[in-house]
Amino acid sequence: IPAPSGAVRQAPPITDAAYLASLKRVTQYYVVTAFLALFIGVMIGPLQALNYGGINLYDNPVVKAILKSYYQGLSLHGVLNALVFTQFFISGWMLYLPVRDLGARINMRFAWFTYILMTAGLLMAAVPLLTNRATLLYTFYPPMQGDALFYIGAAIMVGSSLLVVGQVVLMWWNWKRANPGKVTPLVTFMSVATWMMWSVASLGIVIEVVGMLIPWSLGLYRGVDPLLSKTLFWWTGHAIVYFWVLPAYISWYAFIPRHAGGRTVSEPITRLVFVIFLLNSTPVGIHHQYADPNISNVWKTIHMFLTFMIAVPSLLTAFSVTASLEDAARARGGRGLFGWTLKLPWGNAIFSAQVLAMISFILGGAGGIVNASSSFSPVVHNTAWIPGHFHITVGTATTLSFMGIALWLIPHLTGKRLPSMRVASAAVWTWFVGMMVFALGMHWQGLYGVTRRAQVSATAQDVYRDMPIAIPTALTAISGIILLVSALLYFYVLFRMLLSKRVENGENTPIPYSEAISPAGENLATASPLVRATEPLLALWVLALVLVLLMYGPVLARLLSNLELVPGWRLY
Ligand code: HAS
Ligand code: HEM
C-alpha cells in the first residue's frame, strides 16, 4: 500500500488491545467462514460449466457419491456462493469498517453471539442441503418443498444479519449523539446506508420464509401460493444484488484510489450514490417477473423504469472511480487518452483484482439493462444468458473484489503475510479471463435459447441438435477449466497465508484510506447542501420503507385477493 500523498484520514486508534484483538478475531471468523463456503461452492462450478460445454460428469462414480443429481450440486453452488459467501464476508467487512472508522466501542459479546447464530443457521440449512432434502436451487421457489430445517436455518442466517444492522446503526447513532453537528465519515456513511438498505430489502424474504414456508414445511398450511411467494422473494432478491455489490463499492471509492496512489474524487457525490441505492434498490424486483401472470403490466412497467433509474448510481460510480484511477495514473506520469491506464499498478493483485472486477461489471451492468427491458426480456429470460450476466456481476464484480480485499484485510487482521504476490496475481487474472470466456459462452448460448438450470449435457443432442452452438459450448467448457485453475491458485495463497505464522502487528498493514479531491468536510454547518441533504440517514431509511410499501402494496394486495394454494412437490 503506497504511502498517502497528503492529509489522509487514519482510523482513530483503539488503545484497548484486548478489545481490538477480539474485534479483529470475529471479523476474521466471518471472512474465513465466507471463503470456506466459496471454496466448496466454486469447486462445483466447473462441473456445471462442463455441462454447458456438452460434457456430462454427473454419472462419474466419484461425483455420484457426492452429488445425487445435477440439481443438488446447483443448489449447493448457488446457496454457498451467492448467499453464504456474500453474507458472511459482508457481515464481517461492514461491521469492522465502521467500528474502526469511528474508533467506536461495541458490545463484543453481542458481536460474537451474532456470528455464532449466523453460523448455527448455516449449519442447520446445510444438513438438508447436503442430504438432498433441500434440492430447491438458491431461489427455493414453492411448490418445490424442502425440509423445515432448511427454511429455519435460512431464516436464522438472514435474521442474524439484521442483528448486525442493529449493532452498526446503533453504534452510528451513538456517535451522532456524541458528535452533534458533525458530518458522518465517508466509510461509516456508506456502511450504514448499505445496512439500512438491506434491512428494508430483506423484509420480503423474511415475510416469505417465516410467514409462509416454515409453517408450510411443518405441515401447518395445506399449501402456499407460488406467485405470492415468488413476489416476496424478488422483493428481496433484486435488492440483494446491491447488498452484494455495495460493500465492493465501499472499497472502490474509499480504498482503491490509495492502492493506486490517487484520490477519491468526491465525497458528496459518493454519499449521493449510496442514498439513491438506499431509496431505489428495492422497488424494482418485478423485473424478474415480466413473464408471470396476475401482476398488471402497469406495475411491471413502473418497476422497469425504476430499474433503469437504479443503474444511474452505478454509472455515477463508473465515472467517479475511473476519474480517481486517472488521477492516480497521471500522478505517476501517465499520459495520453488511454495510455495513462498503463501506469496503474496492475502487478498488485489487491488492486488488479478489484479493477478487473470493475471492468467485468461494465459488461455485467450493460447486460442487466438488457434484462430489465421488457421488450428484450422474453429473449433472454430463463436462458443461459442469465447465468452469463450474473457471473460477471456477483461472480466477478463482487467475488473478485472480495478476493482482492482479503489479500490486505487478512494481513491487517492477523499480522500474517501474503505468501506470494505472483501466485495471487495469476489467480486474479485467470479468474477475470475465465469469467470473460464463461460469460461469452453463456450469453451466446442464451441467444440460441439454451435454457438455464438444465442438465443440457444429458439432453442437448436431442433438443439443440440443429443449433449452431458448437463454439459457445466449447468456450463454456474451456472457461470451466480456466476457473478451476484460478480457484486452486487463489485458495492455495489464501489458506497458506491463513495457516502461516503471525510475523508482525497487523496495524502495520493499515486500512488504506484515500484522500479526497472534494471532501465532505467535518462540520454540517459549513458543509455543502448535498452533504447536508444526505446526512439524515434515519429519515431516508423511513422514506425507503415507505417507497417499497407503495411500490409493492398494490401488487401484493392483488395476489392476496387471488390466493391459489398449492401443495408441496419434491422433484429430486
Ligand atoms: Fe442483475 C438477474 C437487471 C446488476 C446479479 N442479476 C440477475 C441475477 C443475479 C443478478 C444473481 O432486469 C439472477 C437471478 C436469478 O437467479 O434469476 N442487474 C440488472 C440491472 C443491474 C443489475 C439493471 N445484477 C446486478 C448486480 C448483481 C446482479 C450488481 C450482483 C452483484 N438482473 C437484472 C434483471 C434480471 C437480473 C432484469 C432478471 C433477468 C431474468 O430475466 O431472469 C444494474 O444495477 C446494473 C448497473 C451497472 C452499471 C455498470 C457500472 C459499472 C461500474 C464499473 C466501472 C468501471 C471502472 C473501471 C471504474 C451501469 C461501476 C475502469 C477501468 C479502468 C482501467 C480505467
Ligand atoms: C450457476 C459455473 C462461480 C453463483 C452456475 C451455472 C454455471 C456456473 C455453469 C449455471 C447452471 C445452470 O443454470 O444450470 C460456475 C463456475 C464458477 C462459478 C465455473 C467458477 C469456478 C460462481 C460464483 C458465484 C456463483 C463465484 C457467486 C458468488 C452462481 C449462482 C448460480 C450459478 C447463484 C445459479 C444457481 C441456480 O440457478 O439456482 N454457475 N460458477 N457462481 N452460479 Fe456459478
pLDDT at 188 (0 to 100):
98
Nearest ligand 1 atom, CA 288 = 38
* Alpha-carbon distances of 119 from 34, 74, 122, rounded to whole Å: 10, 21, 5
Nearest ligand 1 atom, CA 291 = 41
Nearest ligand 1 atom, CA 387 = 13
**Span 240-264, pLDDT tens digits:** 999 999 999 999 999 999 999 999 9
Q: How far apart are CA 61 and CA 67, in angstroms?
A: 10
Q: Phi/psi of residue 172, each to 5°?
A: -65, -40
**Span 112-121, pLDDT tens digits:** 999 999 999 9
**Span 503-536, pLDDT tens digits:** 999 999 999 999 999 999 999 999 999 999 999 9
Ligand nearest to the CA of 377: 1
Confirm or reject: Cβ of 486 under 6 Å from ligand 2.
no
pLDDT at 7 (0 to 100):
67
Strand partners, 20: none
Confirm or reject: Cβ of 258 under 6 Å from ligand 2.
no
Residue type, 315: L
Confirm or reject: Cβ of 357 under 6 Å from ligand 1.
no
All three cell numbers of 42: 466454486
Kindly report the average pLDDT of the chain as a whole number: 96
In this prediction the pTM is 0.97
Given 452, 464, 491, 513, the catalytic residue: 452
Distance 46 CA to ligand 2 centre (A): 9
Q: Is 238 a catalytic residue?
A: yes
Q: Which residue has the cell 457481515?
A: 91
Ligand nearest to the CA of 403: 2
Ligand nearest to the CA of 234: 1
pLDDT at 4 (0 to 100):
56
Confirm or reject: Cβ of 38 under 6 Å from ligand 1.
no
Q: Is 389 a catalytic residue?
A: yes
DSSP state at residue 450: P
The residue whose CA is least distant from atom 11 of ligand 2 is 453
The residue whose CA is least distant from atom 49 of ligand 1 is 365
**Span 23-63, pLDDT tens digits:** 999 999 999 999 999 999 999 999 999 999 999 999 999 99
Probe ligand 2: pick from 391, 402, 490, max atoms within 8 Å of CB? 391
Probe ligand 1: pick from 205, 255, 310, 371, max atoms within 8 Å of CB? 371
Q: Phi/psi of residue 2, each to 5°?
A: -65, 155
Distance 81 CA to ligand 2 centre (A): 8
Ligand nearest to the CA of 83: 2
Confirm or reject: Cβ of 483 under 6 Å from ligand 2.
yes
Q: Is 105 a catalytic residue?
A: no
DSSP state at residue 95: H
Confirm or reject: Cβ of 372 under 6 Å from ligand 1.
yes
Q: Is 390 a catalytic residue?
A: yes
Distance 77 CA to ligand 2 centre (A): 6
Q: Where are the alpha helices (DSSP H) in 373-455?
A: 377-380, 385-391, 399-414, 421-447
Q: Can you say whether the dihedral through the CA atoms of 277, 280, 282, 288 is positive or negative?
A: negative
Confirm or reject: Cβ of 81 under 6 Å from ligand 2.
yes
The residue whose CA is least distant from atom 15 of ligand 2 is 45
Report yes or no: 264 and 253 within 8 Å, Cβ to Cβ. Answer: yes
Burial of 289 (0-12, 13-18, 19+ CB in 10 A): buried
Q: How far apart are CA 16 and CA 20, in angstroms?
A: 6
Given 71, 242, 351, 552, the catalytic residue: 242
All three cell numbers of 450: 439454451
pLDDT at 2 (0 to 100):
57
Burial 499-527 (b: 16+ CB within 10 A, else e): eeeeeeebeebbbbbbbbeebbeeeeeeb
Nearest ligand 2 atom, CA 438 = 19
Q: Which residues in the chain come in under a pLDDT of 70?
A: 1-7, 460-461
Given 9, 25, 381, 453, the catalytic residue: 453
Confirm or reject: Cβ of 412 under 6 Å from ligand 1.
no
Q: Is 412 a catalytic residue?
A: no
pLDDT at 464 (0 to 100):
85
